[in-house]
Amino acid sequence: MSTTTVMKPSRRKGPISFLTILGWFTAILFFLPIAWIISTALKPKNTVLDIPPKFVFMPTFQNLVDAVSFSNTLQYFVHSAIYSFTSVFLAIFVAFLASYSFSRFKPAGTDFLMFLLLSTRFVPAAAFVIPFFQLFNVLKLKDSFLGLIIFYTMFSIPFSVWILKGFMDGVSTKFDETGMVYGASRWHIMFKVVLPQVRSGLVAAFVFNIIFVWNEFLFNFQLGGLKTYGIPVGLFTSITKGGQVDWSFVASIGTLYVMPLALVIFFFQKYLLVGLTFGTVRGEV
């Protein structure tokens, strides 16, 4: 008698599987704090602290208008934008050159140099605060955009080089050589041939770094000043305006503060995913 093995048919997938629901649930759970901040910003002031919380209410933009018109709020945004975008653009430009060099010319000890580059990130940020404070005082860079831009550029370069080198290694050197054969200069090859092919890496590096710099508090607080405080410090110093915590104000600033980043991440998330595949996940400074 012969026996026949019948393969068990795989379970038919329904239109929405259990795992999909679980995935959505988890994602929403993570999004709740943001949703809470946004809903608080839109609630009338007198209902913010209601217990039980009100989930249905008539949204108002008055809190946002108040927050924006409060003394230095706009200034903080402008400051944040100036030092964040400038330093990250600068860092990526430098990192692009550096990673091209590491990838193509492979200077002696490339691996060790790459390790050294990242080593600045091994030390907890707090260890740097006092030395940098003193250094900035001596160099008269405290409370200057130049100082903050130098600092954030320096801190953004290593990680950008790591991301970009991975992308750069993925572009065959034959592209460079073909360019050379056809009479192109090294600069032309870098910016016209290689750069378009590492665009994903540039965007990934940009997004990761802008998240870090935009959110950075400690050094902005220590090395900055009234002329250069960004939103995180601004939020912190304005949190108790009027002697008590004004949650509508906090939530409004928080909402406005999250928006630019949320938009950047939303529009560039496919690049972020590519960036993450290099296994490079950063922590705090």
Partner 1 sequence: MYDINLKNVTKGFGNLQAVNDITFTIPKSSVTVLLGPSGCGKTTLMRMIAGLETPTSGSIFFDDIDVTRVPTKRRNLGMVFQYPVIYRGTSVKRNLELPLLSEKLSAGEISKRVNDVADLLGISGDLNKMVEELDNGTRQKIAVGRAIARQPQIILFDEPITNIDITAKLELKRSLKEVFSRLSQTIVYVTHDQTEAMTLADQIALMQDGVITQCAPPKEIYEKPKSQFAGWFLGNPGINFIEKEHISVAGSGINSSLFSQTIDAGSHASQVKVLGVRAEAIEVKTTQSPEARSARVVRKSLGIGGQYLLDLEYGSLKVKARVAHQLGREIGDQVWTTITSSDVIMFNEAGVAI
Q: Measured from the CB of residue 97, what is the shortest distance to partner 1 in angstroms?
A: 20
| Alpha-carbon gap, residue 86 to 144, rounded angstroms | 13
Q: Measured from the CB of residue 188, what is the shortest distance to partner 1 in angstroms?
A: 8
Q: Measured from the CB of residue 271, what is the shortest distance to partner 1 in angstroms?
A: 15
CB closer to partner 1, 50 vs 177: 177
Burial tier of 265 (Cβ tally within 10 Å: 0-12, 13-18, 19+): middle
Q: Among candidates 69, 72, 84, 123, which has minimal Cα distance to 220?
A: 84
Take residue 234 and report the two structure tokens written for it: 């601004």
Asked if residues 177 and 166 have their Cβ atoms less than 8 Å apart, the reply is no
20 binds partner 1 (CB under 8 A): no
Asked if residues 264 and 210 have their Cβ atoms less than 8 Å apart, the reply is yes
CB closer to partner 1, 177 vs 284: 177
| Sign of the dihedral through C-alpha 148, 154, 156, 160 | positive
CB closer to partner 1, 190 vs 251: 190
Q: Measured from the CB of residue 175, what is the shortest distance to partner 1 in angstroms?
A: 6
Q: Which of residues 188-247 bind partner 1 (CB under 8 A)?
A: 193, 196-197
172 binds partner 1 (CB under 8 A): yes
Take residue 48 and report the two structure tokens written for it: 């913010």
Q: Measured from the CB of residue 193, what is the shortest distance to partner 1 in angstroms?
A: 8
Distances (CA, A) of 30 to 23, 26, 174: 11, 6, 44
CB closer to partner 1, 134 vs 185: 185
**CB neighbour list of residue 143: distance below 8 Å, 6 or more residues apart:** 223, 224, 225, 226, 227, 228
In the chain, the amino acid numbered 41 is: A
CB closer to partner 1, 71 vs 172: 172
CB closer to partner 1, 193 vs 218: 193
Q: Measured from the CB of residue 278, what is the shortest distance to partner 1 in angstroms?
A: 20
CB closer to partner 1, 154 vs 180: 180
Query: Using CB under 8 A as the criterion, what x/- string covers residues 123-162 for binding partner 1?
Result: ----------------------------------------
- The CA angle 127-99-189, to the nearest 5 degrees, is 155
Q: Which of residues 174-193 bind partner 1 (CB under 8 A)?
A: 174-175, 177-178, 180-185, 193
| Alpha-carbon gap, residue 117 to 169, rounded angstroms | 18
Q: Measured from the CB of residue 256, what is the shortest distance to partner 1 in angstroms?
A: 36
Which residues make up the interface to partner 1 (CB under 8 A)?
172, 174-175, 177-178, 180-185, 193, 196-197
